Chain A
């Protein structure tokens, strides 16, 4: 089937899509956007998190045909040209990236969190990111990155100390 959708603000078309394909497959293999990652393909890891009509979802669980005429936002769309987004910058600065395979999904989930909750508590960060598995970092530096991103986005929370207890 033919699929028309908008990805990161651009109208895109994929042809000869097999109906059993996921949105993730279409993005990665047909639209040249492999930033969203294929780690579990069962909604358990969040590596493929994308915005679908501005709501974060697992792209692996969206049937390709369900994305027809929808707006999709991927990790590739977070930066403004050369300028990294606040969340992207914070992940680099705080050392929240190791192998980086979970990073694209985490960035979209964190971007959404800060959009909805400008000053998230640690408990809110943890609940919001509970669907994004990371095997490298032990999450501490991811916590720090999200705190930093929230601060830089205008939130007024305190320092992003990484030890000694969560902030409430």
Chain B
């Protein structure tokens, strides 16, 4: 693409001079841009002659489209294009696993919010008014809204022609019929959570002279977006060039396509740059959410507290399109007993189509829901056994060498018991000084002045979890990195180029650290992510430091090998005797031979490498697999919660976490991930739920979909341990997801301890507490 067409605010090279290798905590290379307000997020982009795109969405969760009349909209002044399903140039279907979702609805709409038509106009308001002029004649149908019913009632309407089951997966281990001394059972439900990333879906598409299109956007996975977009546009993928712009958070919500195809269609049709930016309300309709779940659990144990069996039926509501539902069922069932060693397991999981909003990836994918259930069960079991809940967990904790319910032997550290012991030992908050008048901001209700201490009871609770890291069940999971080493003004400079999405987690920092450590250079620039380098996969499944870190490491090592080979030839020393140190090439025999920059001269060394992690294998029909998942990660939380037992209001006083991260490549960023993940788990525990009634979202706004504020999130003690995984680069273990998973059950356990209530649904609301 020529520079004359580049957007005014464009993705920047990250070239701040920052030092620090693997294991240190250097600052972010994008920090200065971000605090200055100069970082180019996808919604900040602007191009000369740019039009605004807008999307008409279905008001009904289930309806047949009889007709669409775009005439009046098209004739409206300032409108440059109005497009419907007929205008989709290629395949009018996309999807991450199952290709089942139309780019624009054809004859039916399957959820309220489904895209039906597009407009490009010279101003957002012109586009909105044109949407009003598009006349769609709907025949409204009865929606399917209950996933459990959909799994068993064949008389319900079929949301898709193939039926309503996206995936059914049983897991059977040992004797599913075995009996036990003590049995506890429960039914648990998890509400629909939203990723609530702050940067709305947005992209700027610029038509290119070669018939292709350049799309600047925020996403988690450029290549998967491109593959789906190119198919829908009927273009060679090489003609669909995607460049990552600043991403305002993701958390799974940017795995699926949102505006990608739409904005490209409008740009190609009008021949002008087109930008689409969702507002917050549209964002709630424009991306998938966390699957709501209903889960039936039965735990059996000996009188001594040894788990004998776990049986469960898990129902996940996938909504109108499959998205990541197959993976949610896979993760939910395989991880459904939690981080415990259980001899007899019978779990069945259903992921269902309904006419509810589509659900897909969110941090902790498929592991969040069962963790709430199995940890609630462990507390219930501890009560039935009159045992300490932490002791019960330690007694049954899985560890290295144990076999998972799928038959996989854990061949890396699994320090679950250690994490529980450590989190229990972290300091508890000091009790308020006797007689001191409390600051109402420290009490449930805060400045809203609902209590001065009346009804407030403190509770403490624990939660621990397991999460698989990286793609699983036989997916070829890999990432690609290109590293270029050159001499710039007498200094060696490494440029790292990947398609791996920096979504805020600090991957750019980690890539620099790896390059500095591997190449012994100070200056490492990060090239903007784009599709001109090979795929990196998604910034999801806590996988990027593992796989992209591995790819950067491999590419750096390949560069180093070439550099050393050149040096060996020039100085007549065997390459095996050479190493890099502090920007210089050092021989074991003769000491410093030369500066790296000097050897490079005017030549650049560039290498591209893929990193594939160990192979995984699909589950069979009984849920068996030699290695379903490449790695597991664990975290344990302790929550201290004050509950106003009369009003049902909650103040989390302290939230502590112990987590094994294998190797902390950037210890401060690890802590940041644990704090942020824990906050999202807190949100699910006490406030976050998309309320859906008859297929319609009732609270699509930040006024009524509440996420934690700084007054809701308590101080944390974070305890990070490093029990390296011998199979992973540097021994790393995925970090991002576990803290989102174990914080929720810990908080609910603390509320139970304070109130004595059962609390079988998250988020816990005041109504649940006062009963």
Contact = CB atoms under 8 A, between A and B. Distances in A.
B111 interface: no
A84 B314 CA distance: 52
A130 B711 contact: yes
Given A35-B36, A135-B251, A127 B703 contact: no
A97 B710 CA distance: 15
Interface stretch (B85-93, B138-146, B503-511): B503-511
A139 B197 CA distance: 15
Interface in B614-673: 654, 668-669, 671-672
Interface string A120-150: 0001011101111111111111110000000
A92 B442 contact: no
Contacts of A98: 249, 504-506, 672, 676
B720 to A, nearest CB: 12
Given A44-B701, A141-B675, A133 B198 contact: yes
B473 interface: no
Given A130-B709, A138-B672, 5 more contacts: A45-B198, A99-B247, A103-B35, A135-B195, A139-B679
Interface string A75-109: 11011000010001101110101111111100100
A80 to B, nearest CB: 11
Interface in B670-718: 671-672, 675-680, 701-703, 707-711, 713, 715-718
B66 interface: no
A133 B713 CA distance: 11
B611 to A, nearest CB: 24
A37 B41 contact: yes
19 contacts: A20-B125, A35-B37, A35-B38, A45-B702, A74-B37, A76-B38, A84-B36, A89-B35, A95-B671, A97-B34, A98-B249, A99-B503, A101-B197, A101-B198, A123-B439, A123-B442, A132-B710, A135-B676, A141-B671
- Max chain A C-beta neighbours (<10 A), residue from B279, B506, B713: B713
B191 interface: no
Contacts of A39: 198-200, 248, 280
B572 interface: no
B110 interface: no
B447 interface: yes
B715 A162 contact: yes
A130 to B, nearest CB: 5
Nearest to B436: A168
Given A100-B34, A143-B710, A166-B715, A42 B8 contact: no
B672 A92 contact: no
A131 B252 CA distance: 25
Contacts of B429: 164-165
A4 interface: no
Interface in B193-242: 195-200
A164 to B, nearest CB: 6
A140 B196 contact: no
Contact of B709 (A20, A47, A133, A143): A133
A168 to B, nearest CB: 7
B349 interface: no
Interface string B162-201: 0000000000000000000000000000000001111110
**Interface on chain B toward A: helix, strand, loop, or mixed SS?**
loop
A41 interface: yes
B123 A18 contact: yes
A29 interface: yes
B51 to A, nearest CB: 13
Given A34-B37, A37-B41, A100 B711 contact: no
A40 interface: yes
B716 A138 contact: yes
A135 B35 CA distance: 17
B412 interface: no
Interface of B: 8-9, 25, 27-28, 30-32, 34-41, 43-44, 46, 123, 125, 195-200, 246-251, 277, 279-280, 427, 429-430, 439, 441-442, 447, 503-506, 654, 668-669, 671-672, 675-680, 701-703, 707-711, 713, 715-718
B248 A37 contact: yes
A50 B40 CA distance: 18
A47 B668 contact: no
Contacts of A142: 710
A50 B566 CA distance: 55
A130 B718 CA distance: 23
Interface size class of A (residues with CB under 8 A): 35 or more
A163 interface: yes
A46 B39 CA distance: 18
A35 B504 CA distance: 17
A166 B717 CA distance: 12
B710 A135 contact: no
Contacts of A166: 715
A165 B708 CA distance: 18
Given A102-B198, A126-B711, A138-B676, A95 B669 contact: yes
B715 A93 contact: no
Contacts of B703: 42, 44
Contacts of B430: 165
A123 B716 CA distance: 16
- B9, B197, B279, B675: most-surrounded residue (chain A CB, <10 A): B675
Given A84-B32, A143-B710, A138 B198 contact: no
B178 to A, nearest CB: 42
A42 B713 contact: no
Contacts of B40: 34
Contact of A127 (B30, B199, B249, B711): B711
Q: Which 7 residue pairs of A and B lie closest in terms of their CB atoms, listed nearest first?
A: A35-B37, A99-B504, A101-B248, A138-B675, A100-B34, A138-B679, A34-B44
B35 A91 contact: yes
Interface string A25-41: 00011001111111111
A168 B436 CA distance: 12
B248 A137 contact: no
B193 to A, nearest CB: 12
A42 B34 contact: no
A32 B676 CA distance: 31
Nearest to B25: A95
A101 B41 contact: yes
Contact of B717 (A20, A131, A143, A164): A164
Q: Which of A33, A42, A142, A165 has the most CB of B within 10 A?
A: A165
B501 to A, nearest CB: 11
Contacts of A125: 710
A39 B442 CA distance: 28
B120 to A, nearest CB: 16
